[in-house]
């Protein structure tokens, strides 16, 4: 068990919940940080608290290692311009070749603030659920971006922080499988029922893979991955 401690960037979605479980199996002290950036799917902010509570109930051994949670306000992203995650605009591909759900600089800012929190709290490892295997093409989710950011953060803060990306090379089906290997079927059921991924914030329609509109890119990735996971027999 690594005693240097970890800070998980935790949104309350499938990926960050899986990353949190991953961290709890490896570190003796784990804290979480989330961001209210004016996202349309702000229901995830309610889900993240619920997920944390249920994880503690489900796994007392993890509860012993799970420390404080922080939630920071970042409404500046709404002021910087319209995206489909911060404004009521269509989810579509744009002239840049990126989807309108791309929020420029979001993950860079998230991890910079997480690094500042980790520095202050004496935590060495930053855990984030970014991935460039099954993803929406966001450049700030790429492995090269994370490696470059780690160098910049350590230079700028005279530190030795490590950015860990457990899902970077996993498909969504493999992410479901990882969750099962970490916490068995109870963790899979918790993710299905209580995490939130849908970009539109839809939580009235329950599918086999969880709640969501079923048609946004996040829902499509989650549902396709779950079906592949079931077909593979976990």
42/144 Cα distance (integer angstroms): 29
CATH at 114? 3.40.50.620
Instruction: Provide the pLDDT for residue 102.
Output: 63
Is 207 part of any domain? no
Structural domain including 189 reads 6-195
Q: What is the pTM of this model?
A: 0.92
Of 233, 210, 232, 216, which Cα lies nearest the Cα of 15? Answer: 210
Domain membership of residue 73 (yes or no) is: yes
Query: Total structural domains in the chain?
Result: 1
Q: Indicate whether 204 belongs to any domain.
A: no
Write out 191-203 in H/E/C secondary structure.
Answer: HHHHCCCCCCCCC
Summarize pLDDT for 142-192 with one digit per residue, the tens. 999 999 999 999 999 999 999 999 999 999 999 999 999 999 999 999 999
Give the angle 134-140-141 at the CA atoms, nearest 5°. Answer: 25
Distance of CA 116 to the CA centre of its chain: 18
Q: What is the pLDDT of residues 224-234, one digit of tens each?
A: 999 999 999 86
Domain assignment present for residue 39? The answer is yes
User: Has residue 101 got a pLDDT over 90?
Assistant: no
94 falls within a domain: yes
How many angstroms separate the first and last alpha carbons of the chain?
A: 26
């Amino acid at each position: 068990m690594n005693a240097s401690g970890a800070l998980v960037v935790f949104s309350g979605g499938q990926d960050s919940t899986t990353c949190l479980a991953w961290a709890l199996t490896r570190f003796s002290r784990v804290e979480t940080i989330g961001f209210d950036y004016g996202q349309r799917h702000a229901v995830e902010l309610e889900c993240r608290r619920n997920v944390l509570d249920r994880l503690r109930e489900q796994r007392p051994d993890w509860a012993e290692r799970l420390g404080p949670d922080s939630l920071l306000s970042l409404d500046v992203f709404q002021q910087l311009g319209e995206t489909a995650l911060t404004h009521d605009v269509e989810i579509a591909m744009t002239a840049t070749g990126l989807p309108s759900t791309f929020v420029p600089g979001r993950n860079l800012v998230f991890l910079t603030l997480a690094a500042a929190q980790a520095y202050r709290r004496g935590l060495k490892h930053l855990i984030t659920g970014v991935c460039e295997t099954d993803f929406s093409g966001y450049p700030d989710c790429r492995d090269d971006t994370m490696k470059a950011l780690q160098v910049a953060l350590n230079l700028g803060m005279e530190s030795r922080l490590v950015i860990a990306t457990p899902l970077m090379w996993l498909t969504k089906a493999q992410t479901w499988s990882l969750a099962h290997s970490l916490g068995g079927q109870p963790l899979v059921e918790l993710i299905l029922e209580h995490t939130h991924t849908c970009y539109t914030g839809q939580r009235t329609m329950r599918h086999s893979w969880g709640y969501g509109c079923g048609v946004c890119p996040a829902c499509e990735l989650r549902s396709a991955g779950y079906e592949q996971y079931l077909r593979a027999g976990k």
